[in-house]
Amino acid sequence: MGKMKIKSGDKVRVIAGEDKGREGVVLKVITRTNKVIVEGVNTVKKHLKPSANNPQGGITETEAAIHVSNVALLDQKGNPTKVGYRFDKDKKKIRFAKTTNEAI
């Protein structure tokens, strides 16, 4: 369980699996299992029993988690990139795209 280089709000592309090639924004990061939930990717159908909140019940589609190794961060130009860390002038640690050398 190391530090994850992808954060919520990042734009990523799926590089492996059933949804390979699809892009989306990271909605949630689950550091305990090294997984991320990406908007519109890895959708699953969930059957819901009738309850007080949802008296009808039914089937809903939600996004399931995908392993962080199966997604690649996109730089400003929309190309997949690896993430590096460095310190800026104010001695603040920032992430940068290794392909364009620009801060993320």
pLDDT digits (tens, 9 = 90+) for 38-51: 999 999 999 999 99
The domain tally of the chain equals 1
Block residue for tokens 């892009």? 23
3-state secondary structure of 72: strand
Confidence of residue 3 (pLDDT cuts 50, 70, 90): confident
Percent residues over pLDDT 90 in the chain? 88
Is 72 within a domain?
A: yes
pLDDT band at 1 (very low <50, low <70, confident <90, very high): low
22: CATH: 2.30.30.30
Classify residue 103: in a domain, yes or no.
Answer: no
What is the enclosing helix (H) or strand (E) of 84? strand 83-87
As a dihedral over the C-alpha atoms of residue 49, residue 32, residue 25, residue 43, rounded to 10 degrees, the angle is: -30
Alpha carbon of 60 to those of 24, 25, 43, 56, 78: distances in Å? 20, 20, 10, 12, 31
The reported pTM is 0.84
